[in-house]
Amino acid sequence: MHRIEVTTKPNGAGRNWLEVGHFETDTLGRKQWIKKNVPHQESKLTVDRQYSARGETIDWIVIIPENYPFTLVKVNYDRLNPKELEVLWDPEGDTHSETAREDKIKRIFELAAGNDELTELLKAIL
């Protein structure tokens, strides 16, 4: 299970929202976003939404199950950038995140190599 926490602003200038879907590459080699659904209507996702006191923002907690086949994106919209997509979770990118984490841990231990106290603390935490 993967947990994502994000805040969106559904109205006004600089608004944004969440979508579920996937990317397709067209015949010219461009990536196109294909929307399937919205997270709170997707039956496989566990979603909790909390509106701010004035309703200006929404705080999301999305629980994504293992082997979920779709991508979760945050769509940002304003007059200067009509539609910008920020990938929050990607099924293909999931395996890369584990290797990236291992690389970061390895780098931390390389930086702490001369300090025994810090190395022991890192071993206890990780």
CATH code of the domain covering residue 20: 2.60.40
Is the domain of 31 the same as that of 65?
Answer: yes
Give residue 18's identity as a one-letter amino acid code: L
Count of alpha carbons within 13 Å of 102, Cβ hemisphere only? 5
* Whole-number pLDDT of residue 97: 52
Q: Which residues contact 81 (CB under 8 A, 6 or more apart)?
A: none
pLDDT band at 83 (very low <50, low <70, confident <90, very high): confident
Is the domain of 47 the same as that of 101?
Answer: no
pLDDT band at 100 (very low <50, low <70, confident <90, very high): low
40 vs 43: CA distance, rounded Å: 8
Give residue 4's identity as a one-letter amino acid code: I
Residue-wise pLDDT tens digits, 30-71: 889 999 999 999 989 999 999 987 878 999 999 999 889 999
Is the domain of 79 the same as that of 98?
Answer: no
pTM: 0.68
Is the domain of 27 the same as that of 65?
Answer: yes
Looking at the structure of the chain, the number of domains it has is 2
Average pLDDT over all residues of the chain: 86
**Distance from the Cα of residue 3 to its chain's centroid:** 9
* Whole-number pLDDT of residue 104: 76
Q: Which residues contact 89 (CB under 8 A, 6 or more apart)?
A: 2, 4, 62, 64, 71, 72
Instruction: Quote the domain boundaries for residue 48.
Output: 2-90
More confident residue, 97 or 35: 35
* Whole-number pLDDT of residue 95: 44
Is the domain of 34 the same as that of 56?
Answer: yes
% of the chain beyond a pLDDT of 70:
93
* Whole-number pLDDT of residue 73: 94
Lookup: tokens for 67: 């082997």
- DSSP codes, 68-126: --SEEEEEEE-SSSS-EEEEEE-TTTHHHHHHHHHHHHHHHHHHTTT-HHHHHHHHHH-
Q: How far apart are the first and last CA of the chain?
A: 20
* Across 23-35, average pLDDT: 89
Is the domain of 32 the same as that of 85?
Answer: yes
Is the domain of 65 the same as that of 122?
Answer: no
> Minimum mean pLDDT among 9-18, 33-42, 44-53, 104-113: which range?
104-113
Is the domain of 14 the same as that of 65?
Answer: yes
Is the domain of 51 the same as that of 107?
Answer: no
Is the domain of 105 the same as that of 126?
Answer: yes
